[in-house]
């Protein structure tokens, strides 16, 4: 049973049941004993009932793997250049990272991205496909000088580098989440995707921590309280558009049900009790909203020429 379905069931318990059975944790425990298996990494939140009804599984597993490989190519090259492993990065990588700790963190992330490239390449071959070559990347966003640079100092200013790293990692987390539905019938692919998604989420969190240590107003997860690193309506902002969503839905046998976070759920354990708006603000932070393949490609194309 999915986590959202557990919450929807919990919301159906009336106040008399909750008080009769003890504290709130007892109610949660009772649902857990009924066989609720909480697998939050596998959830794909739905934007609306209409969207839930209109979902059509038209993408193939090979499509999913190819998209994922493009994103991993991008991230691997981004960090490889910064570390001086490939041309185009800072003149002095050691000095660029300011501290040995910063450089070591990026080295670890780069190794993970290289491993993801290797894994996805093998999975594409196993699926009968041909591994596409890596695209050409320009991480300034200038399309190799064809337009004005968006991140002109990406490899000369550590703060800009970390902003772009956050953008890439946050977008990658959402992209993987958006593709889960197309491989959920393939156990080995699903496991590989979820493990990679988990690693990307840890990368995003660590990059955000590095930024916060340098004075940025940012949490370790996407939050409405973060100081924006993109401009509303811009191409890069599509990495964050929709993350403010506070409405989640869960499909049942015959209907699509909204999870009533703001009422009916024994999740408000603050003293004093949180306001409705405060609860919904936390809901907005609790879910990484998925992005579809077209948006994922559009974000990758910001750095491809």
Count CB neighbours of 272 within 10 A: 5
Q: Nearest-CA neighbor of 76 among 125, 120, 131?
A: 120
Q: Are residues 221 and 253 in the same domain?
A: no
Q: Are residues 139 and 196 in the same domain?
A: yes
Place of tokens 């596998």: 42
Q: Are residues 254 and 107 in the same domain?
A: no
Q: Which residue stretches of the chain have pLDDT < 70?
A: 1-57, 264-269
Confidence at residue 268, expressed as pLDDT on a 0 to 100 scale:
65
Rounded to 5 degrees, what are φ and ψ at 256?
-110, 120
Q: Are residues 138 and 89 in the same domain?
A: yes
Q: Is residue 55 part of a domain?
A: no
Q: Are residues 220 and 231 in the same domain?
A: yes
Q: Which helix (H) or strand (E) holds 66?
A: helix 61-82
Confidence at residue 231, expressed as pLDDT on a 0 to 100 scale:
95
Q: Is residue 49 part of a domain?
A: no
Which residue(s) pair with 304 in the sheet? 137
Q: Is residue 45 part of a domain?
A: no
CATH number at residue 69: 1.20.1260.10
Confidence at residue 36, expressed as pLDDT on a 0 to 100 scale:
37
Q: Nearest-CA neighbor of 170 among 120, 112, 237, 234?
A: 237
Q: Are residues 27 and 122 in the same domain?
A: no
Confidence at residue 42, expressed as pLDDT on a 0 to 100 scale:
31
Q: Is residue 86 part of a domain?
A: yes
Q: Is residue 44 part of a domain?
A: no
Rounded to 5 degrees, what are φ and ψ at 259?
-85, 115
Q: Are residues 274 and 129 in the same domain?
A: no
Q: Is residue 50 part of a domain?
A: no
**33 CB-side CA count, 13 A:** 6
Q: Are residues 11 and 22 in the same domain?
A: yes
Q: Is the peptide bond before 111 cis (omega within 30 degrees of 0)?
A: no
Q: Which residues are CB-contacts of 108 (< 8 A; sequence separation ≥ 6)?
A: none
Q: How many domains does the chain have?
A: 2
Q: Are residues 236 and 266 in the same domain?
A: no
Q: Are residues 119 and 266 in the same domain?
A: no
Q: Which helix (H) or strand (E) holds 266?
A: none
Q: Are residues 235 and 190 in the same domain?
A: yes
Q: Are residues 191 and 204 in the same domain?
A: yes
Confidence at residue 259, expressed as pLDDT on a 0 to 100 scale:
82
Q: Which domain holds residue 164?
A: 61-243+288-301
Q: Is residue 43 part of a domain?
A: no
Q: Is residue 146 part of a domain?
A: yes
Confidence at residue 257, expressed as pLDDT on a 0 to 100 scale:
82
Is residue 116 within 8 Å of residue 74, measured between CB atoms? Answer: no
Confidence at residue 282, expressed as pLDDT on a 0 to 100 scale:
81
Confidence at residue 5, expressed as pLDDT on a 0 to 100 scale:
67
Q: Tell me the residue length of the chain.
A: 305
């Amino acid at each position: 049973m999915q986590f959202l379905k557990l919450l929807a069931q919990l919301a159906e318990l009336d106040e008399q049941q909750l008080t009769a059975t003890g504290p709130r944790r007892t109610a949660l425990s009772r649902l857990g004993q009924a066989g609720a298996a909480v697998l939050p990494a596998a959830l794909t939140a739905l934007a609306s009932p209409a969207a839930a009804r209109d979902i059509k599984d038209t993408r193939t597993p090979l499509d999913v793997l190819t998209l994922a490989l493009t994103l991993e190519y991008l991230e691997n090259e981004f960090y490889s250049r910064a570390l001086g492993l490939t041309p185009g990065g800072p003149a002095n990588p050691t000095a660029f990272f300011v501290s040995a700790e910063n450089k070591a963190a990026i080295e670890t992330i780069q190794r993970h991205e290289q491993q993801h490239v290797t894994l996805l390449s093998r999975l594409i071959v196993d699926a009968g496909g041909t591994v596409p070559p890596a695209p050409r990347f320009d991480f300034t966003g200038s399309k190799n000088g064809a337009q004005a640079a968006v991140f002109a100092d990406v490899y000369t200013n550590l703060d800009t580098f970390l902003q772009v790293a956050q953008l890439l990692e946050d977008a990658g987390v959402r992209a993987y989440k958006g593709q889960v539905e197309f491989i959920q019938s393939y156990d080995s692919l699903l496991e590989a995707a979820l493990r990679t998604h988990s690693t990307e989420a840890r990368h995003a969190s660590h990059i955000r921590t590095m930024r916060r240590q340098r004075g940025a107003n940012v949490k370790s997860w996407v939050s409405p309280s973060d100081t924006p690193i993109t401009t509303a309506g811009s191409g890069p902002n599509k990495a964050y558009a929709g993350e403010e969503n506070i409405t989640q839905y869960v499909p049942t046998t015959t209907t699509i049900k909204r999870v009533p976070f703001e009422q009916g759920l024994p999740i408000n354990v603050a003293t004093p009790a949180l306001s409705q708006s405060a609860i919904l603000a936390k809901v907005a932070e609790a879910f990484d909203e998925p992005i579809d393949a077209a948006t994922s490609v559009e974000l990758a194309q910001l750095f491809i020429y």
